[in-house]
Amino acid sequence: MKNILVLGGSFAGMTAAIEIKQHLKDMAQVTVIDKRDEFIFNPSLIWVPFGLRDKKDISFKLDPVFTKKNITFKQAIIASIDLKYQTVTTDDNQLFPYDYLVIATGAKLNYASIPGLDPADGFCQSIFTYDDAVRAGDEFDKFVANKGGEVVIGAVQGASCFGAAYEFLFNMVYQLKKHKLDKVSPVTFVTAEPYLAHLGLGGFGMATQMCNFMFKQSHIKLECDSEFKKITQNKIELTDGRVIPFKYAMLTPGYLGVDPVRALTDITDSNGFVKINDYYQANGYTNVFACGVAISLPASQPTKVPCAVPKTGYLSEEMAKVVAHNVVASVKGEKLTAKNPGEIDAKCIMDAGNNGIIMTADHFLEPRAHAWLIPGPEAHFAKLAFEKYFLTTHKMGIV
């Protein structure tokens, strides 16, 4: 029986673990390690600050899901990974040997890169963890009570999750109207992107034109090529001298690989993400795989201010399926499948409060044969329906 260790139990890790166990059954002991005991559906974090969701609406416990699938779940912080001796150590000093390792640990939020960016002791908000989103909601309530003011939403240099910034922006505009604060609350989008809806992807179909229309319609001011120098009380300073005042700001941080993965310098890039081949094997290790946000996915066209490539939930799960297939094939001595992440199809919904855009493409990255965008209120309802579908199925262990 092979020992298969999956690090991280979220979108990528859960998918990989369940698929591997389903195919290998008694041929493998599958163990998942995650520091959290619950799954959080990140795409719904955009609604938490506006009181539209709380934790119970967008999360479920991991242990029952894995137990049902005969997968061992260990809640602990992964302290170190030893690729030579094929072991992982957790913070309670437990040692986990493995035959095959799947790294699906996502990212660490790089708040330290810009003074004032960390919502815990800085001056702006973040929605990138549940607790941060709750804090962003408390600050939004104060902002409303104080009768509004300048709003800045954006994404700093090195950010990749641009979609969440745009969704929060359009949801904010919708909420300002609902609170009758839109006339006294000018909104500015400040981004590292070279142009509107570049998204870290060099654009996506007609996204730029559509967002341009939405920006004009809602009088949103745009500041591109923004390299953030520091954030102080009510003021953002960019390195080129631009100063942008705010009463409420939410900024998307850059990502780094998580500490125990970043420490593996022979298989990671300068930001600590795992460099993989088309089989999702880490450089030089045929028994170490990585998927989801934890992988290195370099930008094909560098931008003036660094913008990283987003690794979405759908993409993370599709990568995890290829990884699962390849782990199963390795155990059974069968042929591995190659699938470059950029060639995986794209499926995404950008919510805008009461409308949005459904986005699909044959390839996640260029070159693409098609990239279709369907704007309208049905996108909002599609996102609501997808949230329920995703949480219901994953809670049952269906990935």
Ligand X SMILES: Cc1cc2nc3c(=O)[nH]c(=O)nc-3n(C[C@H](O)[C@H](O)[C@H](O)COP(=O)(O)OP(=O)(O)OC[C@H]3O[C@@H](n4cnc5c(N)ncnc54)[C@H](O)[C@@H]3O)c2cc1C
When asked if residue 61 is in the footprint of ligand X (CB under 6 A), the reply is no
* Angstrom distance (rounded) from CA 212 to CA 233: 30
309-338 binders of ligand X (CB under 6 A): 311-314, 316
C-beta of residue 222 within 8 angstroms of C-beta of residue 214: no
- CB-based contacts of 131: which residues, under 8 Å, 6+ apart? none
* 224 noted as active-site residue: no
When asked if residue 293 is in the footprint of ligand X (CB under 6 A), the reply is yes
Judged by CB under 6 A, which of 4, 21, 32, 34 binds ligand X? 34
Q: Kindly report the CA angle at 246 between 245 and 249, in degrees rounded to 5?
A: 135
* 161 noted as active-site residue: yes
Closest CA to 157 of 271, 39, 267, 77: 271
* Angstrom distance (rounded) from CA 374 to CA 390: 21
* Angstrom distance (rounded) from CA 242 to CA 191: 12
Judged by CB under 6 A, which of 4, 5, 11, 98 binds ligand X? 11
Q: Which is nearer to ligand X, 6 or 238 (CB)?
A: 6
Strand partners, 73: 32
Q: Which is nearer to ligand X, 238 or 276 (CB)?
A: 276
Catalytic residue among 124, 291, 307, 348: 348
Cβ at position 398, least distance to ligand X in Å: 17
Q: Binding residues for ligand X, how many (CB under 6 A)? A: 35
Interaxial angle between packed helices 11-24 and 313-332, expressed in degrees from 0 to 180 and rounded to the nearest 10: 30
Q: Which is nearer to ligand X, 171 or 312 (CB)?
A: 312
Q: Which is nearer to ligand X, 296 or 316 (CB)?
A: 316
Q: Which is nearer to ligand X, 182 or 387 (CB)?
A: 387
Closest CA to 68 of 102, 13, 30: 30
When asked if residue 255 is in the footprint of ligand X (CB under 6 A), the reply is no
When asked if residue 189 is in the footprint of ligand X (CB under 6 A), the reply is no
Binding site for ligand X (CB under 6 A): 8-13, 33-36, 42-43, 45-46, 77-78, 104-106, 127-128, 161, 163-164, 258, 260, 292-294, 311-314, 316, 348
